[in-house]
Amino acid sequence: MEKLIKSATVLDPHLIKNDFPVFKRRVNGKPLIYLDNAATSQKPESVINSIDNYYRNHNSNIHRGVHTLSYESTVMYEEAHKKVAEFIGAEDWRNIIFTRNATESINLLAYGWGLHNLKEGDEILITIMEHHSNIVPWQMLRDLKGIKINVLGVDEKGNLKLDDLPGLLSERTKLVSVIHASNVLGTVNPVKYITQEAKKVGALVLIDAAQSIPHLSIDVNDIGCDFLVASGHKMLGPTGIGFIYGRTELLQDMEPFMYGGDMIEKVTIEKTTWNELPWKFEAGTPNIVGGIGLGVAVDYLQNIGLTNIYNHEEELLVYALEKMAEYDWIKIYGHKSDSQSVGVISFNIEGIHPHDVAGMLDEQGIAVRSGHHCAQPLMRELSMDFAARVSFYLYNTKEEIDLCIETLKKIKKLFE
């Protein structure tokens, strides 16, 4: 149950659009229709203003001065950690480490924990759905440490083959690293169940929440995971800011990922000791304004309500799938069961390359993604190399979906 939502109201995307300056512009002479939210979200005025306000009125380095600006910057930056901690139900704001993005967060874990704790013969379990950022760091450890990577597959409906899960877990499994929501299929994986199964063999659990945290209420204590990562730019925040949540005892035992200023307690020529959490893992001058902007983005999401956002996107998703199903020349991947999904639809049009589809949609001011979506193993599993993708967020409307599909019909007719 969502503990952060104070009320449940009907979300009005037409009013919400007014909070986002980008929707005042036109693309190729057309009003912007932005359907590439799985790649990055647009930014509300409040986030943009927080960045402007910081540089105009507060700019200073944190933890390095006793003057007013340094104190203000430090308080604002630490307050952002607290907002993120509350947002995901973390027990302490010091369990939130700011990074550049989810990719850097996973690398922090791979280097800070994996490099020092894994040995030859140990195993890591991932899924075929993973974004490349949750595959490549573990391959690095495989090559350096001689560990084994096991992979949980998907069925024909786009769901994980959970019946295969027990057979892939053993006392050799040290980490289960799983995506919460697929950026290709939209499938929301049962991470609480997967975590419970992993704990039976003593494995740690990492949740990649980059695609879920903008849309779903998340409680790390309810899930029971050990680590969770996300990127701020997908949840209305600035680019260049993300975070990793970790349990206190694990973070305290881990080695730093980067070394230098501010992550130290005491330095002598002979020896250095580390700072307290979370600064132990935030070496150098961090993205202060990015953290502050992320905190304001969390405020915005809290105000709208994650339940309201999810319900709105679910309505858009059902509407779009029903409309697209009317045309047999549109091939949709996933969405073949009643499993929970976020608002992501990957598709191809028979006989037309998805890059051509995306380019011609752009001519009408409609922004979608095309390519392999940084998920090539999953794409090969689905017998394709590339796909077009539409992805929805709180400011999208049914009218935009109608215009997108009408344009797809014109594209199909033109190629015929």
Domain annotation covers residue 174: yes
List residues bridging with 126 in a β-sheet.
151
Which run of H or of E encompasses 151?
A: strand 148-152
Q: Do 269 and 234 share a structural domain?
A: yes
Q: What is the CATH number of the domain that holds 312?
A: 3.90.1150.10
Eight-state DSSP code of residue 176: E
CA 10/CA 312 separation, integer angstroms: 8
For residues 39 and 137, membership in a common domain is answered with: no
List % helix, strand, coil for the chain (3-state, nearest 5): 40, 20, 40
**Beta 173-179 vs 204-208: how paired, if at all?**
parallel
Does 1 reside within a domain?
Answer: no
φ and ψ of 293, to 5 deg:
-60, -40
pLDDT value of residue 8:
47
Contact 207, 222 (CB under 8 A): no
**Residues 193 and 286 both lie in one domain:** yes
pLDDT of residue 236: 98
Domain's final residue, options 286, 302, 318: 302
In a domain, 7, yes or no: no
- Segment-wise mean pLDDT, segments of 10 residues, the chain, 416 residues: 42 96 97 98 98 97 90 97 98 97 98 97 98 97 97 95 98 98 96 98 98 97 98 98 98 94 90 92 96 98 96 97 96 90 95 96 97 88 91 98 98 92
**pLDDT at 9 (0 to 100):** 60
Residues 167 and 259 in one domain: yes
**Does a structural domain hold residue 5?**
no
Q: Report the candidate in 200, 251, 257 with the shortest Cα–Cα distance to residue 224.
A: 200
The reported pLDDT for the residue numbered 372 is 87
Assess whether 62 and 100 both reside in one domain.
yes
Is the pTM of the predicted complex or chain greater than 0.75? yes
Domain check: are 391 and 325 in the same one? yes
Query: Which sign, positive or negative, has the C-alpha torsion 312, 316, 321, 323?
Result: positive
Same-domain check for residues 181 and 39: no
> What are the Cα distances from residue 302, in Å, to 54, 87, 161, 238, 351?
22, 8, 34, 17, 44
Exposed, middle or buried: residue 320 (CB in 10 Å: 0-12, 13-18, 19+)?
A: buried
* 254 inside domain: yes
Q: How many residues does the chain have?
A: 416
Last residue of a domain, one of 302, 329, 350: 302
Asked if residue 223 is part of any domain, the answer here is yes
Question: Could you say which DSSP state residue 262 is in?
Answer: S
Residue ranges making up the domain that contains 23: 13-44+305-411
Q: Given 309, 374, 390, 404, which residue is catalytic?
A: 374
Identify whether residues 96 and 183 lie together within a single domain: yes
Distance between CA atoms of residues 40 and 64, nearest Å: 33
- Same-domain pairing of 315 and 240: no
Give a yes or no: residue 4 inside a domain: no
* CA separation for the pair 297, 232 (Å, rounded): 8
Domain boundary among 250, 276, 302: 302
pLDDT score, position 6: 37
Active site residue 225: no
> Which tokens go with 286?
């961090």
CA–CA dist 242, 215 (Å, integer): 16
Q: What local confidence, expressed as pLDDT, does residue 161 receive?
A: 97
Examine the domain organization and report whether 188 and 57 are in the same domain: yes
**Number of structural domains in the chain:** 2
> Long-range contact list for 374-379, CB < 8 A, 24+ apart?
374/131, 374/132, 374/133, 374/183, 375/129, 375/130, 375/131, 375/132, 375/182, 375/183, 375/184, 376/132, 377/128, 377/130, 377/135, 377/151, 378/128, 378/129, 378/130, 378/154, 378/182, 378/184, 378/185, 379/184
Looking up residue 60, the CATH number of its domain turns out to be 3.40.640.10
For 224, the token pair is: 């029971």
Task: Please tell me whether residues 354 and 280 are part of one structural domain.
Answer: no
- Does residue 64 fall inside a structural domain? yes
> Do residues 312 and 297 both lie within one domain?
no
